[in-house]
Amino acid sequence: MNKTSFKRLPRNVWVVTVTSFLTDVSSEMLVNLIPFFLANVLGVRTAIIGLIDGIAETTASLVKILSGALSDKLGKRKWLTVAGYSLSTVAKPFLYFANAWGWVLGVRFADRVGKGIRTAPRDALIADSIDKDQRGLAFGLHRAGDTAGAFLGLGIAAFIIWLTQSQTSLLTPSTFKIIVLVSIIPAVLAVLVLALGVVEVTGTGIGSDTTHLSLKGMDSRFKSFLFVVVIFTLGNSSDAFILLRGQERGLSVLQVMGMALTFNALYTLFAGPLGAWSDKIGRRRLMLGGWLAYGLVYLGLAFSRTGWQVWLWFALYGLYYAATEGVAKALVADLVPESMRGTAYGLFNAAIGITALPASLIAGLLWQGAGAWTGFGASAPFFFGAMMALLAGFLFWRLVK
């Protein structure tokens, strides 16, 4: 990866990257604190936390399929993407008034529906705007921008916690409300940047009357990939459980934010280079390596006995994300026709989102129920996640050639 490669990237890739950067500045100020708001302030149990995350992700996943297919049908990606970011922005301020977990569920639902509307058209817009030989770099850069925003957002949230919570290691309602208000500013800026900066791309296959909401006409490798992704995601519960694991092992809320900052720093540093590397060595190798890393990290989390051990494993977890998130999206574009990219991204993101509900429910129940019964305690969901990752890696190796 060099400066010339970056200069060749089109305007749309940069605009979408900046939009994701600003959005994640806003979102990550909140999303990592919501589990603590639910647990520390509202007294919600882990099974309910998993249920909230699962319902929000799963319901929104249906929107991802429809939105992706609609962008193929209309031949328009931009305004669906803008609409999705706008809905998420409008939903955030309502967290300020949350005094029961139902409020949090409502906001998370609306935010994820917004994500569902924008994700597939946005990914298709990137794929439409870039040549195949730079696809990994483009998606890697987008993920790096997204995660750099998460790093900054976490830093701002940690600074506010440091200023307002010197007397307690638990999250307080007043601190959470301040962070909600601050998060609105970058969210609004993100919508403006996208609406004013991105340019619609019209390809020869986009806007076809033959577009349909199904797997018909898709490469068999794409179908196999979807199947394997579902297997993997069953063990890939919400990262909220890792944050709670850190607190359970003795970290304060501020220290957990530092843990998340370390994760995002590694993710940001490696997402671009690993994405560009996939253009040279192939997506398959990096996906396999990333899923193996995930399995090892989850085993490490299961065996962790101290907060600093959870911190270390969560930092290394960033390498898994860097090796797979952008690369998986580039792989989808490699496997499907241009005219079906929106539909394919909708199906891909939906496969992950729909499986998030059982994944998070399983993790929550293993943590507080089966974990105690088997003697594994809070380690149980991490053993399960490691097992599913290794199974998915084997199936990917055998089925997706």
pLDDT digits (tens, 9 = 90+) for 223-263: 899 999 999 999 888 787 888 888 888 888 788 888 888 98
Percent of all residues in the chain with a pLDDT value above 70, rounded to a whole number: 91
CB 247 within 8 A of CB 32: no
> What's the whole-number mean pLDDT along residues 68-80?
83
Among 49-53, 106-110, 136-140, 378-382, the range scoring the smallest mean pLDDT is 49-53
Q: Which residues of 275-294 are buried (b: 16+ CB within 10 A; e: fewer)?
A: bbbbbeeebbebbbbbbebb
The pair of three-digit structure tokens given for residue 86, joined into one six-digit string:
């706008």
- Looking at domain 16-199+212-399, its CATH class is mainly alpha
> What's the whole-number mean pLDDT along residues 97-113?
89
pLDDT digits (tens, 9 = 90+) for 151-197: 899 889 889 988 887 666 677 888 889 999 999 999 999 999 999 98
> What's the whole-number mean pLDDT along residues 389-394?
91
pLDDT at 166: 64
Report residue 16's pLDDT band, with 50, 70 and 90 as the boundaries: very high
pLDDT digits (tens, 9 = 90+) for 120-143: 889 888 888 888 778 888 888 888
pLDDT at 284: 86
pLDDT at 212: 53
Coil/strand/helix, residue 164? helix
pLDDT digits (tens, 9 = 90+) for 332-369: 888 888 778 878 888 887 788 778 778 878 888 887 76
pLDDT at 210: 47
The pair of three-digit structure tokens given for residue 150, joined into one six-digit string:
């998460």
For the chain, domain boundaries:
16-199+212-399
pLDDT at 204: 45
| Average pLDDT across the chain, whole number | 84
The pair of three-digit structure tokens given for residue 232, joined into one six-digit string:
């993997």
Which residue, among 142, 150, 96, 94, has the nearest Cα to 119 in the 3D structure? 142
Which residue, among 155, 304, 292, 323, has the nearest Cα to 242 in the 3D structure? 304
